[in-house]
Every structure is written in structure tokens, then in C-alpha cells.
Chain A
């Protein structure tokens, strides 16, 4: 059974400082990774998707994937108070279509 863990559980940064979030997974056959953001128990929005080792940038959001280390990270450049939310990584394999989410990181950005 796929295990997806995120760290830290919560993170506080100042506006403009880089925010870095981590996600580890257990199934080495996983090939489909996304970072979601959720404001206050509302709906989730996709921030960035990544399918191969390396990095993928979408605006201020950059994902790094290292499948050998079972690790995917999210870096938020110049975070703003409006980025305060819960961030969730989602890991899946395209042959099973089972999508497993991590435990979440609560980010607070101070003005």
C-alpha cells in the first residue's frame, strides 16, 4: 500500500522568503506527481504536475522529483500572505489510476 508522507507538518515563513515543502512516497513505480493547494477546507487546486526526474516550474511554484530517492518537493518563490493554505502532494501510477495524497503541510506566510 502506497505511503505518502509530507514534511514539515506546518511551516511559517516571511513574505518574500523561499518556502520549501517535502513529500516522500513508498512505491517506486509511481510516475505521476502533483502538488495541490487548499484554502480553509475548500476545494483543491493543482499547482504543478511532474512526471520525470528533474524540475518543473509553473509561475512561482517549482517541483523537484527524484524517483530514486522516492522524493518530490515544492518550492514557492516569493510567497505572499495569500499563499497561506494547506499544501498536499498527490502520487499515482498511470496503470492503476489510484491517487494517494500526503498528510499535508500547513503554510503560513507572514506579511
Chain B
């Protein structure tokens, strides 16, 4: 049973479009993360959160908003999508503390912006 579930798994939109990527975790973890993965860049941190209503800025936040509505749910919002945001997006959760870095990943959401 998947503990971190992302949706949609694949999304195609046009430049200027509005996209919401969803992530739900059933690990009861405090921390949730959104990363993007592009060839040559590894995983880059967009935003992360340590609980409902909290948001921390990652390393590549421009063009992205995020919202943590509950302990389980973390959303990534692209309000004016651009082709540079074409990427594979991963959500992850973590217990935090000494287990910081022990991330449990979703299966990824592939976004194409035409």
C-alpha cells in the first residue's frame, strides 16, 4: 500500500495554464517536500513544510506556490505555467529530527508545458 501518493501522474498543459499537483501521505510524518528532477540537476527542492499551514521556501521556488492543508496533504501550484517548468516532480515525506533525510517518495508526476 503506497504511503505517498501523487496525482496526476502525467499532465500536459499549455504556457500560461494553471496546474495543481497533489500529494497525500499516510505515514503520519510531519515533513513534506516537493522536488523537481531534471537531467544534470539531480533533485532540486522547491518547497517544504513541517505541518498544516506551514511553508518553507526551498532552493528553486520561483513560479511555484505550495500549500499544506492538512498533515496528510501538500499541494504544488503553478499559476502561470511556463515551458521551463516541464519536469518530473516528486513529493516526499519525512519524520524529521534524526530521521531527516530519510525520505519516502511518491512515484512522481510528469508535467509537460507546451
Beta-carbon nearest neighbor of A33 in chain B: B101
Instruction: Check if A109 is an interface residue, CB within 8 A of chain B.
Output: no
Interface contact A97-B31, CB-CB below 8 Å: yes
Beta-carbon nearest neighbor of B31 in chain A: A97
Q: How many chain A residues touch the partner (CB < 8 A)?
A: 29
The tally of CB-CB contacts under 8 A between chains A and B is: 70
Q: Which of B35, B37, B88, B101 has the most CB of A within 10 A?
A: B101
Instruction: Check if B103 is an interface residue, CB within 8 A of chain A.
Output: yes
A71 to chain B, nearest CB (A): 17
Residue of A33, A92, A101 touching B43 (CB-CB under 8 A): A101
Given A42-B107, A44-B105, A92-B101, the answer on whether A98 and B42 have CB atoms closer than 8 Å is no
Instruction: Check if A73 is an interface residue, CB within 8 A of chain B.
Output: no
Given A41-B108, A43-B105, the answer on whether A32 and B42 have CB atoms closer than 8 Å is no
Interface contact A88-B43, CB-CB below 8 Å: yes
Residue of B90, B94, B100, B107 touching A93 (CB-CB under 8 A): B100
Q: Give chain B's interface residues, CB within 8 Å of chain A.
A: 31, 33, 35, 37, 40-45, 48, 50, 56, 58-59, 88, 90, 94, 96-98, 100-103, 105-108
Q: Give chain A's interface residues, CB within 8 Å of chain B.
A: 1-2, 4, 6, 9, 32-34, 41-44, 46, 49, 51, 88, 90-94, 97-104
Complex A-B: 9 CB contacts under 8 Å: A6-B42, A43-B105, A88-B42, A90-B101, A91-B101, A97-B31, A97-B97, A100-B59, A101-B42
